[in-house]
Chain A
Amino acid sequence: MSISEKSIMSEPSEAGRFGEFGGRFVPETLVPACQELEASFREAWADPVFRAELDQVLREYAGRPSMITECYQLGAKLGIRLVLKREDLNHTGSHKINNVLGQVLLAKRMGKKRIVAETGAGQHGVASATAAALMGMSCKVYMGAVDVERQALNVFRMKLLGAEVEAVHSGSRTLKDAVNEAMRDWVASVESTHYCLGSVMGPHPYPWMVREFHRVIGSEAREQCLERYGNDPDFVVACVGGGSNALGIFSGFVDTDARLIGVEPAGGAAVGRGQPGVVHGMKSYLMQDEYGQVQEAHSISAGLDYPGVGPEHSYLASIGRAEYPTVTDAEVIEAFQLMAKVEGIIPALECAHALAWITREAPKMQGKTVLMNLSGRGDKDVGQMMEILG
């Protein structure tokens, strides 16, 4: 690896750019808040006291480190060594808690009293509601009306945790519209409120900050793989909607020879089918029509129903460091059942995208070590799958 390659996935430029992607395309009203957040994060991230505080809550509350699990049966069936990073075992059932604990601790340090969040599948909403409950802040979660319906259990969970959940009826009534509504709330409430964005997207510093809060996934996994196998994996695979779990695990391996694979849903392939565009505060690949209207994503998984992608993914794709293939809903449904039956693990539908790619491509990876980020558990998807599978 050359030095320049090692600097990939360090800090973005002063303007918040990863190559040409990223930036801070927000209304003037929010510029000072983004600047304040950037300064606060920079200061906190360099402060051993903040780091120790976060480490402690990650350990004692979220349950870190998450373990790795080798899938012996499925690996033998596919002819690969398949290793899972078990983010599904974190408190609240997904990787989302890493970022949320970081952001809510930071918001508290900044003197904010309230957080707002968007959510797709509901995992980030649940994590935000959880962290808000833990740290005594009020929390409002915006969720597309379509998602409120297909993720009713998570809606109830958020309410149990004391959060207010507002169904968003505008646009496609999914994740992108929930982001719009959370941003509108933030424009009106910026002085008291922190916007707890749930993925590696949005205006600078969010893509960088959220990736740093998830870096723990990759750092742990790198160490665990070395300790267990004496080697880095040949492939590191994760699903990509906005792309936070993928950047979390990629960050641990970007300076190795591992191939980094971010799997997008065929109906929401921002990198695969999009063009550079600007929405939600960032420049990134975006599914859009000939006039720049943002197109609606369509995926079986609410968490990946997003027409954009975090700007650092666009950058990694543009320099060829990571690859972004797609899988279909049908392949995902197969993979979901396969992992349940063969390994006794019910994956989140989002993660079943990563597994769907692995099972499809396994013939080309014989004998290789494949590390997959199992970023969430599938309990939330059981109702939806019950309907699909009859």
Chain B
Amino acid sequence: MSASVLTPLEATLRAKRDAGRKILVPYVTGGLQGWADAIRAAAANGADVIEIGLPFSDPVMDGPIIQEASQRALDDGATPVSIFEGVRTLDVDVPLVVMCYYNTVHHAGHERFASQLVQAGIAGAIIPDLPLEESGPWCAAADGVGLSTIMLAAPTAPDERLPRVCARARGFVYSVGLLGVTGERTELAATASQLASRLKKITDVPVIIGVGVSNSAQAVEACKVADGIVQGASVVRRLMEGGADAVGAYVAEVRAAIDAG
């Protein structure tokens, strides 16, 4: 696919952005108790895309909350296949993407994994331990079937690197909000807005901040610069503590906050 041809996910997100809507991406760990209902609740309360985590034994980019969620899901027997089966029965009207570690992809095989995603109705993939230099074989498989590979951009990247990351990104660019792993923080890191602003200057692909955006106030702050936000640990914690209803209420709160600006 040439860079000028938009994936369906990217076309959707660009249209929303251009219409003035901030993009809200809640994250839910697949296979965690109540995950399917949580996705439905998020979809019904204003999510624009939902990110589904495929639990992995060694999640190096995740902090304690998502680590625990992943472990619980694995202990309950979750596998990529069982999660894809669950996804097919979700019946939600919001694009879905997966977040998974690269060994899950590598082990299945690039083409096979890409086709599994397509069959489950999933629009894209975020693979946090697959940096630009190693991404070629997967991206070729994903491009071949119209899947969006959402690239991560990090605050540590020098200026010359960011345009190459953006050129490879499909759907949106995941602007990593801080130096660190996923988890809730008391404040939005200064790096979050700085990196998003660097990215906005060089790309027209939607720029969405994730990692360390922990509540509706931080979401509003991040959306002053970025096109949207991912809400990960704050959603997963609510799912573990209060179930799908708590997720729905939280997504609605963030939606209202970012709509009000």
Contacts of A42 in B (CB 8 A): none
Interface residues of B in 159-202 (CB under 8 A from A): 161, 165, 176, 178-181
CA distance A111 to B259 in the complex (A): 45
Question: Are A184 and B181 closer than 8 Å at their CB atoms?
Answer: yes
Question: Are B176 and A277 closer than 8 Å at their CB atoms?
Answer: no
Taking residues whose C-beta sits less than 8 angstroms from the other chain, chain B's interface range is 35 or more
Q: Is residue B248 within 8 Å, beta carbon to beta carbon, of the partner chain? A: no
Closest Cβ–Cβ distance, residue B137 to chain A (whole Å): 11
Q: Is residue A229 within 8 Å, beta carbon to beta carbon, of the partner chain? A: no
Binds A, one of B16-24, B73-81, B234-242: B73-81
Contacts of A293 in B (CB 8 A): 56-57, 74
Nearest opposing residue in chain A for B74, CB measure: A293
| Given A291-B81, A291-B104; A33-B57 close (CB under 8 Å) | no
Q: Is residue A330 within 8 Å, beta carbon to beta carbon, of the partner chain? A: no
Q: Is residue B130 within 8 Å, beta carbon to beta carbon, of the partner chain? A: yes
| Given A279-B103, A291-B79; A28-B60 close (CB under 8 Å) | no
Closest Cβ–Cβ distance, residue B59 to chain A (whole Å): 8
Question: Are B130 and A188 closer than 8 Å at their CB atoms?
Answer: no
Question: Are A26 and B129 closer than 8 Å at their CB atoms?
Answer: yes
Contacts of B131 in A (CB 8 A): 24-28, 31
Contacts of B178 in A (CB 8 A): 188
Contacts of A281 in B (CB 8 A): 129
Q: Is residue A161 within 8 Å, beta carbon to beta carbon, of the partner chain? A: no
CA distance A137 to B167 in the complex (A): 40
| Given A188-B179, A188-B181; A31-B133 close (CB under 8 Å) | yes
Question: Are A187 and B181 closer than 8 Å at their CB atoms?
Answer: yes
| Given A27-B154, A29-B154, A291-B107; A187-B128 close (CB under 8 Å) | no
Contact of B180 among A25, A170, A187 (CB under 8 A): A187
Question: Are B67 and A170 closer than 8 Å at their CB atoms?
Answer: yes
Contact of A190 among B103, B156, B165, B181 (CB under 8 A): B156
CA distance A291 to B157 in the complex (A): 32
| Given A25-B130, A28-B131; A184-B58 close (CB under 8 Å) | no
| Given A190-B179, A279-B103; A171-B152 close (CB under 8 Å) | no
CA distance A23 to B133 in the complex (A): 9
Contacts of B176 in A (CB 8 A): 27-29
Contact of A292 among B67, B108, B165 (CB under 8 A): B108
Closest Cβ–Cβ distance, residue B91 to chain A (whole Å): 25
Q: Is residue B146 within 8 Å, beta carbon to beta carbon, of the partner chain? A: no
Interface residues of B in 224-242 (CB under 8 A from A): none
Nearest opposing residue in chain A for B156, CB measure: A32
| Given A28-B131, A28-B152; A184-B63 close (CB under 8 Å) | yes
Question: Are B154 and A171 closer than 8 Å at their CB atoms?
Answer: no
Nearest opposing residue in chain A for B67, CB measure: A170
CA distance A283 to B105 in the complex (A): 13
Interface residues of B in 204-247 (CB under 8 A from A): none
Q: Is residue A15 within 8 Å, beta carbon to beta carbon, of the partner chain? A: yes
CA distance A170 to B71 in the complex (A): 9
Question: Are A277 and B157 closer than 8 Å at their CB atoms?
Answer: no
Question: Are B61 and A279 closer than 8 Å at their CB atoms?
Answer: no
CA distance A171 to B153 in the complex (A): 28
Closest Cβ–Cβ distance, residue B63 to chain A (whole Å): 7
Nearest opposing residue in chain A for B102, CB measure: A278
Question: Are B134 and A24 closer than 8 Å at their CB atoms?
Answer: yes
Closest Cβ–Cβ distance, residue A14 to chain B (whole Å): 10
CA distance A183 to B179 in the complex (A): 12
Closest Cβ–Cβ distance, residue A22 to chain B (whole Å): 11
Question: Are B129 and A187 closer than 8 Å at their CB atoms?
Answer: no
Chain A 298-324 interface mask (CB, 8 Å, partner B; 1/0): 000000000000000000000000000
Closest Cβ–Cβ distance, residue A85 to chain B (whole Å): 33
CA distance A26 to B130 in the complex (A): 6
Contacts of A180 in B (CB 8 A): 58-60
Closest Cβ–Cβ distance, residue B120 to chain A (whole Å): 15
Interface residues of A in 126-182 (CB under 8 A from B): 170-171, 176-177, 180
Closest Cβ–Cβ distance, residue A159 to chain B (whole Å): 24
Q: Is residue B132 within 8 Å, beta carbon to beta carbon, of the partner chain? A: yes
CA distance A292 to B131 in the complex (A): 19
Contacts of B8 in A (CB 8 A): none
Q: Is residue A231 within 8 Å, beta carbon to beta carbon, of the partner chain? A: no
Question: Are A291 and B80 closer than 8 Å at their CB atoms?
Answer: yes
Contacts of A275 in B (CB 8 A): 107
Nearest opposing residue in chain A for B54, CB measure: A291
CA distance A81 to B129 in the complex (A): 47
CA distance A180 to B61 in the complex (A): 9
Question: Are B179 and A28 closer than 8 Å at their CB atoms?
Answer: no
Question: Are B71 and A171 closer than 8 Å at their CB atoms?
Answer: yes
Chain B 102-144 interface mask (CB, 8 Å, partner A; 1/0): 1110111000000000000000000011111110000000000
Contacts of B154 in A (CB 8 A): 27-29, 31-32
- Which residue numbers of B lie inside 8 Å of A, CB to CB? 56-61, 63, 67, 71, 74, 79-81, 102-104, 106-108, 128-134, 151-158, 161, 165, 176, 178-181
Give 7 A-B contacts (CB < 8 Å), ordered by A residue.
Answer: A24-B133, A25-B134, A27-B128, A28-B153, A170-B71, A188-B179, A293-B74
